[in-house]
A and B are shown apart, each in its own frame.
Chain A
Amino acid sequence: MVLVILEEQNGRIKKSAIEAAGFASKLAQLSGMKVCGLCLGRTINVNELTGLGLDQIVQIEHADYLDSSQWISIVAQAKEQLGSKFIVLSNNSLGKSISGGLSVHLKMGLISNVVNFKSQEGVLQFQKSVFSGKASAWYAFSDLNGIIALMPNGFGIHKFDEKPIDSKVLDLKIPEPKIKLLDRKLIQGKTPLTEAEIVVSAGRGLKDPSNWYMVEELADILHATTACSRPVADAGWRPHHEHVGQTGVAIRPNVYIALGISGAIQHLAGVNNSKKIFVINKDPEAPFFKAADFGVCGDLFEILPKLNEALRKSKMN
């Protein structure tokens, strides 16, 4: 049995959880096991879950915030009652706050930031992204069971044939919380960077924060999330949560568009796992061109307004 944690938000399961379910199902297929989803929070309509590869679902209605120690306890109880060999979860903020503790509590090995897996001579190996995406490391569990925390957007979304899902009831006890939630502030409307498929990012080449409307325009046209280089966030031109790179957020979108960013190694560390990279920079020597799939060497103040207009027109046709 593979147990997968399905995190919900506002009654829908998160994109990162769909990715985790797909990984768990592929892993189960390869090793001839069944997959059980664990969903804590608002109840999810089971119809939403068909096509994710799940065989079973355990739902626990719980309206309030759950802290990391509560999550760890509940996942551990579910694991014991189901006799799961593997636990799969997304290494997003929830995952990062519980995976280490879960590993300690269950005395199970943990491989984090996993992007893929394979079976080599009958042994399952898991590929972990290391050195901020500049390399990867293959790991195996010593005793053939363990916890796999997936790097968001690493494995990708996989669809499965629809099949009926068993709703299962377990006897799970929620312990007292250790942490109290006072408030939660979410940026409304936008896809969080780690989940975004398309990211439009800009750097110091934009010269001034008042020029960002061009970047936002492009992002709007493409339904993309915006990001920036570190100096731009440090100067207060853009909010800190947009800063990508080694010391900012690490992302793996399908498409990363970099405008006026030099492509310093610390910036690339956070974005070089994007599936495709499109760069506009006026300096032909800019290091970003070496990491790019498509490059335009020119002045973005000339190119961007025209490109935005042409894209808008093309969308209307």
Chain B
Amino acid sequence: MKLLVCISKTPDTTSKISFSQDGKRYLDEGIQYILNPYDEWYALVRAIELKEKFGGQIDVIHVGNATSDILIRKALAIGADAAFRIDMEPMNSDEIAKQIAKFAKENSYDLIFCGKETIDHNSSEVASRIAQYLDIPYLSYCNHLEIENDKIVASCELEGGVALLEAKIPVVISAAKGLAEQRIPNMKGIIDAKKKPLEVISPIETEQLVELVCFELPPVKSGVKMIDPTQIDEMVAVFKNELKII
């Protein structure tokens, strides 16, 4: 079984969000980047579990510059076999998907895993785009996944429920919470990761269909109105007159 896991980086979840004066650029000086949790905790670990059961090879792919290499090594330490980095600073999800789709086409994978979204851009676009470029089924927001011969049976999140879906390999999957349990890399994994291959690939050309105008921070809250805990009537009045929910 040949598995590809698409890994992205994102600012650590507690990072302060600030932008350059013209609003064009996210200020990431001094910001700690992490692997996107959905990619690391769920997509990669489920791929490792499938390899443990059926054997095979797990490749990870990242579209980004060399500053990501330390995070790519972490994915190798958790259990991927080989890594590929497409050397560019992507501007949008179409660029990323196009690069990954081209690579995946040349290497024919059975399963391509993404996370359900990156926690900075929250786009949920990349996986759906890869599936379209490759013209293969896309199972979105998957929280349970089994392989039966050449078929995938997956439970995928819907508003207020799940759908149990079946598709033929190859497929693209986006991983949601529940697909696997986070694994922490151990010492042996970290040492082995140093010897695993990390190949750098040149990007292909892409075009831009959307343009960033500027980032913007939300208006600051005007401050909290505190209610004395013994004043139940006042709380009821707030529910009634201000929140208008009774």
Contact = CB atoms under 8 A, between A and B. Distances in A.
Nearest to B163: A184
B217 A179 contact: no
Secondary structure of the A contact surface, majority rule: mixed
B132 A179 contact: no
B128 A101 contact: yes
A112 B215 contact: no
B137 A100 contact: no
B229 A299 contact: yes
B210 A109 contact: yes
Interface string A264-278: 011001001100101
Contacts of A31: none
Interface in A119-161: 120, 125, 127, 129-143, 146
A170 interface: no
Nearest to B42: A247
Interface string A62-74: 0001011100100
Contact of B140 (A68, A224, A272, A296): A68
Nearest to B239: A311
A212 to B, nearest CB: 19
Contacts, number: 260
Contact of B14 (A224, A265, A272): A265
B124 A100 contact: yes
Contacts of A315: 246
A72 B132 contact: yes
A174 B150 CA distance: 25
Interface in A246-300: 246-248, 250, 254-255, 265-266, 269, 272-273, 276, 278-279, 289-299
B5 interface: no
Interface of B: 11, 13-14, 17, 19, 37-38, 93-94, 97, 119-129, 131-133, 135-141, 143, 153, 156-168, 177-178, 208-218, 221, 224-230, 232-233, 235-236, 238-240, 242-243, 245-246
Given A67-B137, A99-B125, 9 more contacts: A67-B165, A93-B158, A101-B132, A138-B216, A142-B211, A181-B163, A184-B163, A185-B162, A254-B245
5 contacts: A100-B97, A125-B213, A131-B11, A139-B212, A186-B158
